[in-house]
Amino acid sequence: MARTLKFAVLAAALMLSASVVGASAYSSATVDRTANIQVVGDSNGVIGLTPGGVDGVSNTGGKLSIDLTNLNNKATFDYGSLGSDTTFDTGDSEAFSITNDAGVQKTLTADYSLTNDDGNSVNNLVFTVYDDSGAKVDQFTEESSGLDLTMGSGVTYHVIISVDTPNSASDLSGTLSISA
Protein backbone atom coordinates (compact mmCIF):
# COMPACT_ATOMS: atom_id res chain seq x y z
CA MET A 1 0.00 0.00 0.00
CA ALA A 2 2.82 2.37 0.85
CA ARG A 3 4.35 1.56 -2.48
CA THR A 4 1.08 2.39 -4.29
CA LEU A 5 0.76 5.64 -2.35
CA LYS A 6 4.33 6.64 -3.27
CA PHE A 7 3.63 5.85 -6.92
CA ALA A 8 0.39 7.90 -6.88
CA VAL A 9 2.16 10.88 -5.27
CA LEU A 10 4.99 10.66 -7.82
CA ALA A 11 2.52 10.44 -10.74
CA ALA A 12 0.56 13.44 -9.43
CA ALA A 13 3.77 15.46 -9.04
CA LEU A 14 4.85 14.61 -12.60
CA MET A 15 1.45 15.58 -14.02
CA LEU A 16 1.46 18.87 -12.11
CA SER A 17 4.95 19.81 -13.28
CA ALA A 18 4.12 18.81 -16.87
CA SER A 19 1.01 20.99 -16.88
CA VAL A 20 2.96 23.95 -15.48
CA VAL A 21 5.72 23.54 -18.08
CA GLY A 22 3.19 22.93 -20.89
CA ALA A 23 1.07 25.94 -20.00
CA SER A 24 4.07 28.25 -19.90
CA ALA A 25 5.98 26.89 -22.90
CA TYR A 26 6.07 30.32 -24.59
CA SER A 27 4.61 33.74 -24.01
CA SER A 28 5.00 35.25 -27.50
CA ALA A 29 5.96 34.33 -31.03
CA THR A 30 7.05 36.25 -34.10
CA VAL A 31 6.52 34.87 -37.59
CA ASP A 32 7.63 36.68 -40.75
CA ARG A 33 6.21 35.90 -44.18
CA THR A 34 7.03 37.31 -47.59
CA ALA A 35 4.25 39.25 -49.31
CA ASN A 36 4.13 40.17 -52.98
CA ILE A 37 1.96 43.26 -53.46
CA GLN A 38 2.09 44.96 -56.84
CA VAL A 39 0.04 48.03 -57.65
CA VAL A 40 -0.98 48.65 -61.27
CA GLY A 41 -3.13 51.18 -63.10
CA ASP A 42 -6.90 50.77 -63.41
CA SER A 43 -6.74 49.20 -66.88
CA ASN A 44 -4.54 46.34 -65.61
CA GLY A 45 -6.03 45.81 -62.14
CA VAL A 46 -7.94 42.77 -60.91
CA ILE A 47 -11.02 44.86 -61.60
CA GLY A 48 -10.05 46.54 -64.85
CA LEU A 49 -11.45 50.00 -65.58
CA THR A 50 -10.68 50.95 -69.16
CA PRO A 51 -11.74 54.17 -70.91
CA GLY A 52 -13.77 53.59 -74.06
CA GLY A 53 -12.31 56.31 -76.24
CA VAL A 54 -15.05 58.93 -75.88
CA ASP A 55 -14.32 62.56 -75.08
CA GLY A 56 -14.23 63.30 -71.36
CA VAL A 57 -13.28 59.79 -70.22
CA SER A 58 -9.60 58.91 -70.07
CA ASN A 59 -6.83 57.14 -68.20
CA THR A 60 -5.01 59.83 -66.22
CA GLY A 61 -2.08 58.82 -64.05
CA GLY A 62 -3.14 55.17 -64.26
CA LYS A 63 -6.67 55.93 -63.02
CA LEU A 64 -9.98 56.12 -64.87
CA SER A 65 -10.87 59.79 -65.11
CA ILE A 66 -14.30 61.19 -65.98
CA ASP A 67 -14.14 64.90 -66.74
CA LEU A 68 -17.38 66.10 -68.30
CA THR A 69 -17.04 69.85 -67.93
CA ASN A 70 -18.59 72.89 -69.61
CA LEU A 71 -21.85 71.13 -70.47
CA ASN A 72 -24.71 73.29 -71.71
CA ASN A 73 -27.60 73.69 -69.29
CA LYS A 74 -30.96 72.08 -70.04
CA ALA A 75 -29.38 69.65 -72.50
CA THR A 76 -28.62 65.93 -72.75
CA PHE A 77 -25.28 64.29 -73.49
CA ASP A 78 -24.40 60.65 -74.10
CA TYR A 79 -20.89 59.31 -73.54
CA GLY A 80 -20.94 56.11 -75.51
CA SER A 81 -23.45 55.06 -78.12
CA LEU A 82 -25.61 52.08 -79.03
CA GLY A 83 -25.65 52.94 -82.69
CA SER A 84 -28.95 52.33 -84.46
CA ASP A 85 -30.44 49.76 -82.06
CA THR A 86 -30.91 49.22 -78.31
CA THR A 87 -28.15 46.65 -77.79
CA PHE A 88 -24.43 47.13 -77.30
CA ASP A 89 -22.62 45.76 -80.37
CA THR A 90 -19.00 45.51 -81.45
CA GLY A 91 -18.21 48.90 -82.92
CA ASP A 92 -20.48 50.78 -80.52
CA SER A 93 -18.67 53.18 -78.25
CA GLU A 94 -18.63 53.10 -74.47
CA ALA A 95 -17.64 55.58 -71.80
CA PHE A 96 -15.63 52.86 -70.07
CA SER A 97 -15.58 49.13 -69.43
CA ILE A 98 -15.30 47.09 -66.24
CA THR A 99 -13.52 43.71 -66.49
CA ASN A 100 -13.21 41.06 -63.79
CA ASP A 101 -9.58 39.92 -64.04
CA ALA A 102 -9.54 38.50 -60.49
CA GLY A 103 -9.69 34.89 -61.69
CA VAL A 104 -12.83 34.17 -59.61
CA GLN A 105 -16.47 35.26 -59.62
CA LYS A 106 -17.04 38.57 -57.81
CA THR A 107 -19.99 40.65 -56.69
CA LEU A 108 -19.67 43.99 -58.41
CA THR A 109 -21.10 47.04 -56.69
CA ALA A 110 -21.08 50.53 -58.13
CA ASP A 111 -22.68 53.80 -57.20
CA TYR A 112 -22.33 57.49 -57.84
CA SER A 113 -22.69 60.05 -55.07
CA LEU A 114 -22.86 63.76 -55.71
CA THR A 115 -20.44 66.06 -53.93
CA ASN A 116 -23.30 68.52 -53.37
CA ASP A 117 -27.05 67.90 -53.53
CA ASP A 118 -28.35 68.87 -56.98
CA GLY A 119 -31.68 69.99 -55.50
CA ASN A 120 -33.90 67.58 -57.44
CA SER A 121 -34.87 63.92 -57.63
CA VAL A 122 -34.44 63.64 -61.40
CA ASN A 123 -31.96 61.09 -62.76
CA ASN A 124 -29.51 63.61 -64.19
CA LEU A 125 -26.62 61.16 -64.44
CA VAL A 126 -27.34 57.61 -65.67
CA PHE A 127 -24.75 54.82 -65.93
CA THR A 128 -26.17 52.04 -68.14
CA VAL A 129 -24.35 48.70 -68.06
CA TYR A 130 -24.29 46.20 -70.97
CA ASP A 131 -22.73 42.75 -71.21
CA ASP A 132 -20.67 41.34 -74.10
CA SER A 133 -23.81 39.92 -75.75
CA GLY A 134 -25.13 43.48 -76.04
CA ALA A 135 -27.93 43.06 -73.53
CA LYS A 136 -28.65 45.75 -70.98
CA VAL A 137 -27.66 44.35 -67.57
CA ASP A 138 -28.66 47.18 -65.26
CA GLN A 139 -28.25 50.88 -64.62
CA PHE A 140 -27.63 53.21 -61.71
CA THR A 141 -27.94 56.96 -61.22
CA GLU A 142 -26.90 59.67 -58.82
CA GLU A 143 -30.37 59.26 -57.27
CA SER A 144 -30.44 55.43 -57.01
CA SER A 145 -28.93 53.07 -54.48
CA GLY A 146 -26.40 51.75 -56.98
CA LEU A 147 -25.54 48.54 -58.76
CA ASP A 148 -25.11 45.05 -57.30
CA LEU A 149 -24.23 42.32 -59.85
CA THR A 150 -22.58 38.92 -59.89
CA MET A 151 -19.64 39.13 -62.29
CA GLY A 152 -17.98 35.97 -63.55
CA SER A 153 -14.23 35.69 -64.02
CA GLY A 154 -13.12 37.31 -67.27
CA VAL A 155 -16.47 39.05 -67.81
CA THR A 156 -16.48 42.59 -69.22
CA TYR A 157 -19.32 45.07 -68.78
CA HIS A 158 -19.62 48.15 -71.01
CA VAL A 159 -20.86 51.41 -69.49
CA ILE A 160 -22.57 54.30 -71.26
CA ILE A 161 -23.03 57.56 -69.34
CA SER A 162 -26.03 59.80 -70.06
CA VAL A 163 -26.12 63.31 -68.61
CA ASP A 164 -29.24 65.47 -68.41
CA THR A 165 -28.26 68.94 -67.19
CA PRO A 166 -31.18 70.44 -65.28
CA ASN A 167 -30.16 74.10 -65.10
CA SER A 168 -27.20 76.44 -65.16
CA ALA A 169 -26.67 76.27 -61.38
CA SER A 170 -26.33 72.49 -61.20
CA ASP A 171 -23.08 70.77 -60.38
CA LEU A 172 -23.22 67.02 -60.93
CA SER A 173 -19.65 66.40 -59.73
CA GLY A 174 -19.21 63.48 -57.38
CA THR A 175 -17.55 60.16 -56.71
CA LEU A 176 -17.96 56.98 -58.75
CA SER A 177 -17.31 54.03 -56.43
CA ILE A 178 -16.75 50.57 -57.89
CA SER A 179 -15.90 47.55 -55.76
CA ALA A 180 -15.75 43.81 -56.19
Of 23-37, 53-67, 93-107, 129-143, the range with the lowest mean pLDDT is 23-37
Q: Which residues contact 157 (CB under 8 A, 6 or more apart)?
A: 97, 98, 99, 108, 129, 130, 131, 137, 149, 151
Beta strand 96-100 with 47-51 is antiparallel
End-to-end CA distance of the chain: 73
**Rg (alpha carbons) of the chain, rounded to whole number:** 30
pLDDT for res 133: 86
Kindly indicate the confidence band of residue 175, based on its pLDDT and cuts at 50, 70 and 90: very high
Domains for the chain: give ranges and CATH numbers.
45-179 (2.60.120)
Quote the CA–CA distance of 163 and 166 in Å, as a whole number. 9
pLDDT digits (tens, 9 = 90+) for 54-109: 999 999 999 999 998 888 888 888 898 876 667 776 667 899 999 999 999 999 99
Taking CA 57 as the corner, what is the angle to CA 177 and CA 120, rounded to the nearest 5 degrees?
55
Mean pLDDT confidence for 36-51: 88
What's the CA gap between 17 and 104, in Å, rounded?
52
pLDDT for position 64: 93
Helix, strand or coil, per DSSP, at residue 109 = strand
Q: Which of 123, 103, 125, 115 is nearest to 180 (CA)?
A: 103
Q: Where is 63: in which H helix or E strand? A: strand 63-66
Alpha helices in the chain (DSSP H): 2-23
Beta bridge partner(s), residue 63: 60
Q: How far from 150 is each of 51, 90, 109, 140, 157, CA to CA, in Å?
A: 22, 23, 9, 15, 11
